[in-house]
């Protein structure tokens, strides 16, 4: 096995609020850096009922959201539509 990287982790002396703000900034900057399209192309987000896709969609405020519904006893589409309507 080849090791491609080695992360040296040094814990920082910071408050809980400082750590939360740092994570918040990283997530927002990541979404912003990856939310783009060529001129005239609408931006969309794939939305599930999970916390991660809901957060990304809420931060993006995309032109469209996409999701899947499945046959069976569990459907995420109701939860998906709640966040889609909130943003749009």
Going by pLDDT thresholds of 50, 70 and 90, the confidence category of residue 30 is: very high
Q: What pLDDT digit, counting tens, does each position of 44-73 carry? A: 888 877 788 888 888 988 888 887 766 666
CA angle 51, 25, 11 (to 5 degrees): 95
Q: What is the pLDDT of residue 50?
A: 78
Q: Of 72, 76, 63, nearest to 36 (Cα)?
A: 63
Q: What is the pLDDT of residue 22?
A: 95
Measuring CA to CA, how many Å separate 7 from each of 16, 22, 47, 72?
A: 23, 19, 32, 43
If 0-12 CB within 10 Å is exposed, 13-18 middle and 19+ buried, where does residue 55 land? middle
Q: What is the pLDDT of residue 76?
A: 67
Instruction: Round to whole Å and give the CA distance between 88 and 80.
Output: 12
């Amino acid at each position: 096995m080849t090791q491609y990287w080695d992360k040296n982790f040094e814990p920082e002396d910071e408050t809980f609020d400082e750590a939360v703000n740092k994570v918040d900034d990283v997530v927002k900057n990541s979404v912003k850096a990856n939310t783009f399209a060529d001129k005239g192309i609408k931006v969309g987000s794939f939305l599930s009922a999970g916390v991660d896709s809901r957060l990304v969609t809420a931060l993006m405020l995309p032109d469209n959201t996409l999701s899947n519904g499945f046959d069976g006893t569990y459907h995420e589409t109701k939860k998906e539509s709640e966040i889609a309507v909130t943003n749009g």
